[in-house]
Structure 1
């Protein structure tokens, strides 16, 4: 059975959202300010890095690290500027 999990964080004044779809084929889709900027297939429980650019001046590259488990999907925002991973909280829909 397929299920969608949503995550969101604001970073440097921009909205970063992730949707992780679990099931037979697991995928992650990343939106920045409402526009799709990255996606990737997720194989197994291993985290998948998805690099995206924030439309700052100059553009800032960040990475969303998405995984489907082992228990529940989760996403982290890895910002190169500060180096500290930030948990992207679940967003109920």
Structure 2
């Protein structure tokens, strides 16, 4: 059964939103400031990573890691190597 889960975080002055569609082949879509900047398809409950750039000067590369299951999906925003991962808050829609 497929379900959609939404996550959000404000990072470096930019809005990062993620939609995780669960199921046999989970789909992860990433929007930065309302524009789609990345997407990926995974397998089963394995984590899915999507590398994106935030439109800073110079652009800042970050990675979104979504874990579709088991259970409730989770989503992290991973910045630089010396930075702690940021837990993205779930959003009900």
Which TM bucket (shorter chain)?
Answer: over 0.9
Closer/same/farther in 2, CA of residues 25 and 47 from structure 1, 3 Å limit = closer
Moved over 2 A (4+): none
**Where do 5+ consecutive residues of structure 2 fail to align?**
none
Q: Distance in 2 between matches of 1:78 and 1:24?
A: 25
Give deviations 1:14-55, integer Å, cap 9, x for gaps: 000000001243100000000000000021222111000000
TM-score (norm. length: structure 2): 0.93
TM-score (norm. length: structure 1): 0.93
Q: CA RMSD in A?
A: 1.2
**Aligned pairs, how many?**
93
Q: Contact (CA 8 Å) 2:66, 2:73: kept in 1 or not?
A: yes
**Where do 5+ consecutive residues of structure 1 fail to align?**
none
